[in-house]
Structure 1
Amino acid sequence: MHELKILLMLLLYYHADAVEFAAKPKDVNEFEGQTATLKCFLKHFNIETHVVSWWKEKAKLSQQNEVVAMDLRMSVNLDELPFAGAYSYSLLITELIIEDEGDYYCQIDQAPTISSGRARLFVLQIPSSEYPKCSKSANMYLVGSQVKLTCISELISPPVKLNWIRKGSSTLSMNFQAETRDDFFKKHYTFIAKKTDNDATFLCQQTTDAVSEMHNCTISNLNIQYRPEVKIQHTSALFAGSDSILFCQSFANPPVTQFQWTFIPVLNANEYIADGQVLTLIKPSIATNGTRITCSAENNIGINTNTVTLHIKKEERRKNFIHKKDEDLENSPKTKRKNMNMDAKETQSVSLYVVIIIIVLVVIIIVVVVIIPVYYYCFCKTRTVTDSSGREIYQPTVYYDTRNRASNSGVYDRCLPRLPSTGQYDQWRHSFASQVPEDLDQQGYMYIEERNE
Structure 2
Amino acid sequence: MCTLKPLLVLLHIFLAQAVRFTGKPKNVQQFEGQTTRLKCILGDFDKDKHTVSWMKGETRLSRQNVVTATDMRISVYLDDLPYVGAYTYLLIISDLVLEDEGGYHCQIDQISTISSGIAYLTVLQVPSSEYPKCTKSANSYVVGLPVQLTCVSVLISPPVDLNWNRHGSPISSMSTQTETRDGLVYEIYTFTAKKTDNDDTFMCQQRTDVLSYTQNCTIQNLNIQYRPEVKIQHTSAIFAGSDSILFCQSFAIPPVTVFRWTFTPVFDANEYIADGQVLTLIKPSMARNATRITCSAENNIGISTDTMTLHITEELRRDNNIQKDGNDFKYLPETKGNNMDIFGKGNPGISLYVVIIIIVLVVIIVVVVVIIPVYYHCFCKTRTATDNSGREIYQPTVFYDTRDRTSGLYDRSLPHLPSTGHYGHWRHSFASQVPEDLDQQGYMYIEERNGQNTL
TM beyond 0.5: yes
Q: Give the Cα–Cα distance (whole angstroms) in 1 for the partners of residues 202 and 19 of structure 2.
A: 63
Maintained 8 Å contact 1:227/1:298: yes
Maintained 8 Å contact 2:164/2:171: no
Q: Give the Cα–Cα distance (whole angstroms) in 2 for the partners of residues 248 and 161 of structure 1.
A: 51
Maintained 8 Å contact 1:197/1:224: yes
Structure 1 pair 297–62 and aligned structure 2 pair: CA distance change class (3 A): same
Q: Give the Cα–Cα distance (whole angstroms) in 2 for the partners of residues 98 and 170 of structure 1.
A: 32
Q: Secondary structure at the match of 2:270?
A: helix
Structure 1 pair 40–290 and aligned structure 2 pair: CA distance change class (3 A): same
In the alignment, residue 196 of structure 1 is paired with which amino acid?
Answer: T
Could you tell me how far 1:314 is from its partner in structure 2?
4.0
In the alignment, residue 114 of structure 2 is paired with which amino acid?
Answer: I
In structure 2, what is the equivalent of residue 106 of structure 1? 106
Pair 1:52-2:52 in alignment: yes
Aligned pairs for 1:56-205 within 5 A = 56-167=56-167, 170-171=170-171, 174-205=174-205
In structure 2, what is the equivalent of residue 276 of structure 1? 276
Q: Secondary structure at the match of 2:99?
A: helix
Could you tell me how far 1:59 is from its partner in structure 2?
0.7
Q: Secondary structure at the match of 1:270?
A: helix
Q: Secondary structure at the match of 2:174?
A: coil
Q: Secondary structure at the match of 1:90?
A: strand
Q: Give the Cα–Cα distance (whole angstroms) in 1 for the partners of residues 306 and 170 of structure 2.
A: 37
Q: Give the Cα–Cα distance (whole angstroms) in 1 for the partners of residues 20 and 304 of structure 2.
A: 88
Maintained 8 Å contact 2:105/2:119: yes
In the alignment, residue 289 of structure 1 is paired with which amino acid?
Answer: N
Structure 1 pair 122–272 and aligned structure 2 pair: CA distance change class (3 A): same
Maintained 8 Å contact 1:261/1:294: yes
In structure 2, what is the equivalent of residue 304 of structure 1? 304
Could you tell me how far 1:23 is from its partner in structure 2?
1.9
Identical amino acids, percent of aligned pairs? 64
In structure 1, what is the equivalent of residue 387 of structure 2? none
Query: 1:215-257: per-residue Cα shift (whole Å, max 9, x none)?
Result: 2223233333222111112226434444332211112222211
Q: Secondary structure at the match of 1:138?
A: coil
Structure 1 pair 211–379 and aligned structure 2 pair: CA distance change class (3 A): farther
Structure 1 pair 169–237 and aligned structure 2 pair: CA distance change class (3 A): farther
Aligned pairs for 1:4-403 within 5 A = 18-167=18-167, 170-171=170-171, 174-235=174-235, 237-316=237-316, 377=406, 379-380=408-409
Q: Give the Cα–Cα distance (whole angstroms) in 1 for the partners of residues 173 and 78 of structure 2.
A: 59
Q: Give the Cα–Cα distance (whole angstroms) in 2 for the partners of residues 103 and 55 of structure 1.
A: 9
Query: 1:340-382: per-residue Cα shift (whole Å, max 9, x none)?
Result: xxxxxxxxxxxxxxxxxxxxxxxxxxxxx99x957x6575478
Q: Give the Cα–Cα distance (whole angstroms) in 2 for the partners of residues 30 and 378 of structure 1.
A: 99
In structure 2, what is the equivalent of residue 440 of structure 1? none
TM-score by length of 2: 0.63
Q: Secondary structure at the match of 1:287?
A: helix
Could you tell me how far 1:297 is from its partner in structure 2?
0.5
TM-score by length of 1: 0.63
Maintained 8 Å contact 1:166/1:172: no
Number of residue-to-residue matches in the alignment: 322
Q: Give the Cα–Cα distance (whole angstroms) in 1 for the partners of residues 169 and 234 of structure 2.
A: 36
Q: Secondary structure at the match of 2:227?
A: strand
Q: Give the Cα–Cα distance (whole angstroms) in 2 for the partners of residues 250 and 56 of structure 1.
A: 73
Maintained 8 Å contact 2:164/2:170: no
RMSD: 3.2
Could you tell me how far 1:202 is from its partner in structure 2?
2.3
Q: Give the Cα–Cα distance (whole angstroms) in 1 for the partners of residues 310 and 93 of structure 2.
A: 89
Maintained 8 Å contact 2:57/2:104: yes
Structure 1 pair 88–260 and aligned structure 2 pair: CA distance change class (3 A): same
In the alignment, residue 225 of structure 2 is paired with which amino acid?
Answer: Q
Q: Give the Cα–Cα distance (whole angstroms) in 2 for the partners of residues 172 and 282 of structure 1.
A: 59
In the alignment, residue 192 of structure 2 is paired with which amino acid?
Answer: I
Structure 1 pair 111–236 and aligned structure 2 pair: CA distance change class (3 A): farther
In the alignment, residue 52 of structure 1 is paired with which amino acid?
Answer: V
Maintained 8 Å contact 2:241/2:284: yes
Q: Give the Cα–Cα distance (whole angstroms) in 2 for the partners of residues 289 and 51 of structure 1.
A: 113
Q: Give the Cα–Cα distance (whole angstroms) in 2 for the partners of residues 132 and 161 of structure 1.
A: 10
In the alignment, residue 35 of structure 2 is paired with which amino acid?
Answer: T
Could you tell me how far 1:159 is from its partner in structure 2?
1.7
Could you tell me how far 1:36 is from its partner in structure 2?
0.3
Query: 1:140-181: per-residue Cα shift (whole Å, max 9, x none)?
Result: 332222222222222222222222223465535733222222
List gaps (5 residues or longer) in structure 2. 1-16, 324-333, 339-347, 350-399, 412-419, 424-455
Could you tell me how far 1:67 is from its partner in structure 2?
1.7
Max Rg structure: 2
Q: Give the Cα–Cα distance (whole angstroms) in 2 for the partners of residues 300 and 226 of structure 1.
A: 9
Query: 1:9-56: per-residue Cα shift (whole Å, max 9, x none)?
Result: xxxxxxxx8332222211111112111011122233333433222110
In the alignment, residue 292 of structure 1 is paired with which amino acid?
Answer: R
Q: Give the Cα–Cα distance (whole angstroms) in 2 for the partners of residues 241 and 196 of structure 1.
A: 44
Q: Give the Cα–Cα distance (whole angstroms) in 1 for the partners of residues 275 and 262 of structure 2.
A: 13
Query: 1:400-444: per-residue Cα shift (whole Å, max 9, x none)?
Result: xxxxxxxxxxxxxxxxxxxxxxxxxxxxxxxxxxxxxxxxxxxxx
Structure 1 pair 161–373 and aligned structure 2 pair: CA distance change class (3 A): farther
Q: Secondary structure at the match of 2:205?
A: strand
Q: Secondary structure at the match of 1:174?
A: helix
Structure 1 pair 64–312 and aligned structure 2 pair: CA distance change class (3 A): same
In the alignment, residue 265 of structure 2 is paired with which amino acid?
Answer: P
Maintained 8 Å contact 2:144/2:193: yes
In the alignment, residue 72 of structure 1 is paired with which amino acid?
Answer: M
Q: Give the Cα–Cα distance (whole angstroms) in 2 for the partners of residues 249 and 113 of structure 1.
A: 91
Q: Give the Cα–Cα distance (whole angstroms) in 2 for the partners of residues 172 and 239 of structure 1.
A: 58
In the alignment, residue 123 of structure 1 is paired with which amino acid?
Answer: V
